[in-house]
Amino acid sequence: MQGPARQIVAVFKTSLTLRGSQNFLGARWVMASLRLMPERYKTPFALWLLSLSPHYFFTRDRQAEARRNSESRRQLVRDLLSDMLRPGMHVIDYGCGPGYMAHAVASCVASVEAVDLSPGVIACARILNFARNIEYETVAEFGQRNQYADMAYSFAVVQHLTDGRLRVALSLLRHRLRSKGQLVL
């Protein structure tokens, strides 16, 4: 990284008191930085942000981690979802994180509604895993919509939810699924 991107990274490195936690990804500066970042620096900056959280990347090689995430999610779609996906479907990815699985599903369906708690992770997902038929949104935005979905899935999320939050998530998903819709956890 060079120029303005390097300066922004230097400023934020000193302010990351929550380093090692993914909570900082919800900070307003994350979304503002990604919006203001010159286009050519957005992908490396988004990968750098995700690398600060132990939740998304396991090694220091951000490009390799992005490839690993992308390939592992494509494999999950092939192994677990491909028999259930149809071209005209509207699908919800609940707990999409950086959007790797939403991106893998998007090529098989009409639209994907990718939902995550963290607005910063959503901002990174829009950069790293953009597709015309993916709409990234926060849980709050998701709760305000009424469009029905044919399927909802959630992987690597439900085990992190308290019983109360799991009940809320399941209630939201039930409200958004068609009567014959599928929920895959």
Q: Could you read off the pLDDT of 13-25 as tens digits, one per residue? A: 444 444 444 567 8
Residue 127: the pLDDT is: 97
Q: What is the pTM of this model?
A: 0.86
CA nearest to 31, candidates 148, 121, 160: 121
pLDDT at 14: 42
The 10s digit of each residue's pLDDT in 32-50 is 999 999 999 999 999 999 9
State pLDDT tens for residues 112-151: 999 998 999 999 999 999 999 999 999 889 988 989 999 9
Question: Residue 12: its pLDDT value, please?
Answer: 45
Of the candidates 163, 157, 141, 154, the one whose C-alpha atom is nearest the C-alpha of residue 185 is: 154
Check residue 56 and give its pLDDT: 85
pLDDT band (50, 70, 90) for residue 3 = low
Mean pLDDT value of segment 104-108: 97
Angle at 172 between CA 166 and CA 175, to 5 degrees: 140
pLDDT grade for 60, boundaries at 50, 70 and 90? confident
